[in-house]
Amino acid sequence: MKKIISLFIISVILSSCVSIKSNLTTTSVKQQNHQTKTTQKRPKLVVGIVIDQMRYDYLVKFYNKFGEGGFKRLLNNGYDLKNAHFNYIPTYTAVGHTSIYTGTTPTNHGIISNNWYDKYQKKSIYCVDDANYKTVGATKGGNKSPQRMLTTTITDQVKLAQNMHGKTIGIALKDRASILPAGHTANAAYWFEGKDVGKFITSTFYMNKLPQWVVDFNNSGKANNYLNGTWNTYNDISTYTESLPDNNKYEGLFRGKHSPTFPYNLKELRKINGNYDLLKAIPQGNSITTDFAEAAIVGENLGKTNYTDFLAISYSSTDYVGHKFGTNAIELEDTYIRLDKEIQKLLTFLDEHVGKGNYTLFLTADHAAVPNPSYLEDLKIPSGYFKIEEFKKYVRTLTLKYFNSDKIVENISNYQLFLNKEKIKSLGLDVNKVEQIIADEIINFDKVYKSVTAHTLQTAQFSSGLLQTIQKGYNQKFSGDILFVPMPGVISHGITGTTHGSGYNYDTHVPLIFYGKGIKTGSSNVYYPITNIAPTISSLLNIEEPDGCTGRPIIEVLK
């Protein structure tokens, strides 16, 4: 009897073990199937396109000049967010690209401008300079890295989520527009070295020598060919009715030109306009960016594996053209008509080499731009120019009056004042009181509209308006002690062309279109900050958001 009971017990135990093993196996299979399905839902390639200095209204203003396969294809078949804005000051290139890809503002990611005064080293620094690395592909221009960016990017998160599989490539004419979006874990970031080089280069941060496909591209003669022709309008110049007359006083000039008028003899102009640097300032600079992006897709086999790759592209020539000619020039309109063709070319290439339905794309800008203030003044719209040298003299007068010293302010740049803390302490003064006195007084200077101290930004919370955008752009470790904002329409720039950097709508309102795999078709007028792009892509891919991310996913664009 005991033997029968023992056998029964053993039978039950064995049966239970088999059942448990079966359940574990079933659970494991389900988990593997879930993981496989999640991976299959991800696009094979994510493409981020940032257009430097593109205002949202260019999509509307030039809509009838665009073909069906470029911007219109994205608008009609993607999700158009018509009220996307940058939510901080300053709206500069490096800050814009970083904020898009980190999903946060300078408060967290640490890139507070293109160049800024380093109060520890007591000198001006550039956002991606890094003496620890050397140039690859030329003799100079490549001592760069993303190390001043303190948080991860969506591109980093894609790599981390895949155990460092998949590739990330950054491409732009500008180094900062390539390096910062590509993140810390990129396989490569490439940018165009002008002057007498005329090649795409990189840094030893990424590699020790250029891949063969890059060498072949640089040796192809494309850069030289683009500069051996003429820049004339793509369409008959009489049809450019969205712009001011070709010859007007608000536009800048290339060296060697006596008027800002078509045609532009590039072969002659390159001789006295920095040789290959000229390519950056004409629409052909966008063309070679597309060419190089296509070469990267083929050369790196992007979108062809079981992992998700990321291609970050920035079109920089729009910014150079905008700065020189302004927002109402035929040169600018022609640049966007031609860029539309480049977008169409890239989309067609992606269809052919990655496959329709295999890639997801977003298109936005790093900032917009203000119409030329002289033009606005002629229309009796409040605007003007901020005279920085006169402001510095004014501040010096203030510090002599209140503190009997002209050594109180160490640096003035980017609409910020950096105080000499050691000097203030040696005079027995209270830093916070010095800050407040200067902030209260500079508001009386012509064209200064708002001013605020670092102490206030650290102890108060602003929920709206310009002071909120200043606060989101303020970084306690790196920013100045007093920050101020010029009046609307006021810039620190020459009297021709334009610039950007403010928190006003003309600088903050940019396009934002999502397109491709996992994206709905539609549009929205709801306000969204640009910091929502990275978490939206994170949600699409079902991965962790960048570590400093403060944005939220835009759920309405996702299927």
* Ordered DSSP codes for 329-341: -HHHHHHHHHHHH
Quickly count: other Cβ atoms within 10 Å of residue 219's Cβ.
9
Q: Which amino acid is at 226?
A: Y
Half-sphere exposure of 251 (CA within 13 A, CB side): 24
Query: Does residue 362 sit in helix, strand or coil?
Result: strand
Please choose, from the candidates 510, 448, 502, the residue with its C-alpha nearest in 3D space to the C-alpha of residue 90.
502
**CATH 3.30.1360.150 residue window(s) in the chain:** 387-446+448-486
Tokens of 296: 């990267």
Please choose, from the candidates 496, 492, 497, the residue with its C-alpha nearest in 3D space to the C-alpha of residue 322.
497
C-alpha–C-alpha distance, residues 311 and 302, integer Å: 8
Decide the pairing of beta strands 416-419 and 135-136. unpaired
Domain boundaries 387-446+448-486, corresponding CATH code = 3.30.1360.150
DSSP state of 149: -
DSSP H helix total and E strand total for the chain: 22, 21
**CATH 3.40.720.10 residue window(s) in the chain:** 44-377+513-557
The question of whether 93 is a catalytic residue gets the answer yes
Q: Give the model's pLDDT for residue 41.
A: 83
Tokens of 253: 């000039």
Q: Give the model's pLDDT for residue 39.
A: 53
Please choose, from the candidates 535, 537, 533, the residue with its C-alpha nearest in 3D space to the C-alpha of residue 547.
535
DSSP state of 554: -
Helix-, strand-, coil-residue percentages of the chain, each rounded to 5: 40, 20, 40
Decide the pairing of beta strands 482-486 and 416-419. antiparallel
User: Taking a C-beta distance cutoff of 8 angstroms, is the pair 113, 557 a contact?
Assistant: no
Prediction pTM value = 0.93
C-alpha–C-alpha distance, residues 459 and 551, integer Å: 22
Half-sphere exposure of 141 (CA within 13 A, CB side): 20
Quickly count: other Cβ atoms within 10 Å of residue 342's Cβ.
20
User: Taking a C-beta distance cutoff of 8 angstroms, is the pair 311, 302 a contact?
Assistant: yes
CATH 3.40.720.10 for domain 44-377+513-557: yes
pLDDT tens by residue, the chain, 559 residues: 444 445 444 454 445 544 544 454 444 444 444 444 455 589 999 999 999 999 999 999 999 999 999 999 999 999 999 999 999 999 999 999 999 999 999 999 999 999 999 999 999 999 999 999 999 999 999 999 999 999 999 999 999 999 999 999 999 999 999 999 999 999 999 999 999 999 999 999 999 999 999 999 999 999 999 999 999 999 999 999 999 999 999 999 999 999 999 999 999 999 999 999 999 999 999 999 999 999 999 999 999 999 999 999 999 999 999 999 999 999 999 999 999 999 999 999 999 999 999 999 999 999 999 999 999 999 999 999 999 999 999 999 999 999 999 999 999 999 999 999 999 999 999 999 999 999 999 999 999 999 999 999 999 999 999 999 999 999 999 999 999 999 999 999 999 999 999 999 999 999 999 999 999 999 999 999 999 999 999 999 999 999 999 999 999 999 9
Which is catalytic among the residues 36, 39, 93, 508?
A: 93
Q: 238: Cβ–Cβ under 8 A, 6 or more apart, which residues?
A: none
